[in-house]
Structure 1
Amino acid sequence: MNRWKLSFFALAGLIVAAVAYLIFLIGSPASSEPLPDAKVLDGSDYVLEVEATKEDFEGIANTYIKKAMKGEPLPVKMEVGKDVTLFSEMTVFSYTLPVIMHFDPIVREDGNLILKQSSMEVGQLNIPPSTVLKILRDSVKLPPWMIVRPKEEELFIDLSKIAISDDLQVRAKTFNLEENEIILEIIIPKE
């Protein structure tokens, strides 16, 4: 066998190995970081309830995502309608694919939100949701209060870490999209 054939088969083997490794990385099980412990109010702080519409919450969420990115391009855009929808983009082999993820919101007892993935679209590709969330977590810089949990197919929104001001904290009380009822609580500490 001459050296050109040998070089060709070595290069072809290297390409096949690289593609197989990429498929292995994408398809490997995703690990998720644990959720922070639930913080329950002790009743000594002042609580101000604010009722918001879907449009209000959408605007507030996108404003704080933009603020957390500090001038960098926005990795995701949130829309609130029948469900919570996140729009993003994913680049695969120099092709940019639109990523649309639909979530059902769940309010935890500590007032933080869990967005449980209900469906997703990645261009025309059929990719498991946990894989898309893993790729999103690894390739898109999200604000520190958005925790992607691919194994559980959910996104955790830690409202307590959103910097409203030095003293104030926000938590969700009700998040009913069907009734367009979103009630947020603003916690003002007693001094």
Structure 2
Amino acid sequence: MQRDASQTGSRNRFYRIGFFTILTLFTVLILTIVIIVSRLFAEGESQSLPPATSDGNLAELVTFQLDREQTNVLLTDLVSEDEMPFQFQLEEDGIHLTGELDVLFSEVDIHMMFDPLVRDDGSLVLQANSLSAGVVSISASNALRMFNQFAELPEWIHIHPEDEAILLELNEMDELSPYGLQFKQVALADDQIELSLIRKETATEN
């Protein structure tokens, strides 16, 4: 009887240890998920779109026109797939962004469509129009926030989750310095994209 009692006590201790081990692991898992979700959807600092500003030191050298296919080739050359988890594609109905996001240990295919707006300073605002994210429920602002957090963006791409917008400033491209590009017109339905090659006046003094 004493031996049976000892075995029963050992078995109970084993179950208790196993229970608390599983409980601890489960708690750690829940905390990890909470931390990840908090990081993904944290508001962070304000990233509202800045106002368009004109630079008097920019000299326009030449203006040229491209169609959608030619512009897509240009964007593909400018955007490295190794650096960013998404790509742009100009279509007749809008500018499409496709890519993948790691959401809670799984990859989610993101497809967003934007309406383009050329600003007075030659930059281009892409305003989110629609979003599909597989079976995951996610807003455009949260998708852009995650892209902004985990992608190594070139200096000329600025993501503004609060406004559900992306700002493209081709005149900030270091690779083209002291030159740059500015948008003059983006008429996707007419298959016409107009760009200007510019140069900073101050660069001629060096």
SS of 1:151's partner is: helix
**Separation in 2 of the partners of 1:139 and 1:44?**
33
Please report the TM-score for the alignment, with normalisation by the length of structure 1: 0.83
The corresponding residue for 1:55 is: 69
2:21 corresponding residue in structure 1: 7
The partner residue of 1:28 within 27, 31, 42 is: 42
The residue aligned with 1:100 is 111
Aligned residues, how many?
A: 187
Which protein has the larger Cα radius of gyration, Structure 1 or Structure 2? 2
> What's the RMSD between the two structures over aligned residues?
2.6
* Alpha carbons 1:32, 1:150 under 8 Å: kept: no
Asked whether 1:45 is paired with 2:56, we answer: no
User: Structure 2: 5+ residue runs without aligned partners?
Assistant: 1-12
TM (normalized to structure 2)? 0.77
CA 37–139 in structure 1, closer or farther in 2 if over 3 Å, else same: same
- Equivalent-residue separation in structure 2 for 1:173 and 1:145 (angstroms): 17
Give the structure 2 partner of residue 139 of structure 1: 150
Match of 1:122 in 2: 133
CA distance in structure 2 between the partners assigned to 1:112 and 1:182 by the alignment: 13
Report sequence identity in percent: 19
Deviation at 1:95, TM superposition (A): 3.0
Distance 1:144 1:113 in 2: 14
Find out whether 1:181 has 2:181 as its counterpart. Answer: no
Partner SS state of residue 62, structure 1 = helix
Paired residues of 1:30 and 1:150 also in contact (CA < 8 A): no
Q: Which protein has the bigger helix share?
A: 2
Partner SS for 2:154: coil
